[in-house]
């Protein structure tokens, strides 16, 4: 059966490329959403594993950062929430813990996402040569389509 609704994962971190990716993901969902066939956007932030609430007590210095993280997360989600509200698109917020590439790929598999939208960070050439950018690693390993936004 033809599936006209799409599940779109967008990786966000508050950077300008990530904000552009968030806007693009919501616009894509809006263009494929039509009445009954509603596309859904998963806005995903991936934080370091040691910041996981289940492990927080092992790292007392992170307890003090909770309030600042909550404020930062609201700022990061602001762009995607605003564009989604303006275009009437359903966005589900997700915060994952661990390695960015690994968590994004696992989440996309688990939720059967048809598309991953991710900003191209523009990090330095040396870093890209040594370890590759996260966006390129996701693009190479994903089982679904990946849309890199510059």
Separation between Cα atoms, residue 91 and residue 138, nearest integer Å? 21
- The second-level CATH assignment, the architecture, of 7-133 is 3-Layer(aba) Sandwich (3.40)
CB 39: neighbour CB atoms within 10 A? 22
In the prediction, which pLDDT does 93 show? 97
pLDDT at 2 over 60: no
CA angle 114, 132, 138 (to 5 degrees): 10
pLDDT band at 133 (very low <50, low <70, confident <90, very high): confident
pLDDT at 3 over 70: no
Confirm whether pTM is higher than 0.75. yes
The residue extents of the domains of the chain are 7-133
Extract the runs of DSSP E, i.e. beta strands, from 53-102: 90-97
pLDDT at 141 over 80: yes
In the prediction, which pLDDT does 113 show? 97
In the prediction, which pLDDT does 67 show? 60
In the prediction, which pLDDT does 132 show? 63
Separation between Cα atoms, residue 3 and residue 95, nearest integer Å? 27
Task: Tell me the pLDDT tens digit for each residue of 63-96.
Answer: 556 667 788 899 999 999 999 999 999 999 999 9
The full length of the chain comes to 150
In the prediction, which pLDDT does 68 show? 75
């Amino acid at each position: 059966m033809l599936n006209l609704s799409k599940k779109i994962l967008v990786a966000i971190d508050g950077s300008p490329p990530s904000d552009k990716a968030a806007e693009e993901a919501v616009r894509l969902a809006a263009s494929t959403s039509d009445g009954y066939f509603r596309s859904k956007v998963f806005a995903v932030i991936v934080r370091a594993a040691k910041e996981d609430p289940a492990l927080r007590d092992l790292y007392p210095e992170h307890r003090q950062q909770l309030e600042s993280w909550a404020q930062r997360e609201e700022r990061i989600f602001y762009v995607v929430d605003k564009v989604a509200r303006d275009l009437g698109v359903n966005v589900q917020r997700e915060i994952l813990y661990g390695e960015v590439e690994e968590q994004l790929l696992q989440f996309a598999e688990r939720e059967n996402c048809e598309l991953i939208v991710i900003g191209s960070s523009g990090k330095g050439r040396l870093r890209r040569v040594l370890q590759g950018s996260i966006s390129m690693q996701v693009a190479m390993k994903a089982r679904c389509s990946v849309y890199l936004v510059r």
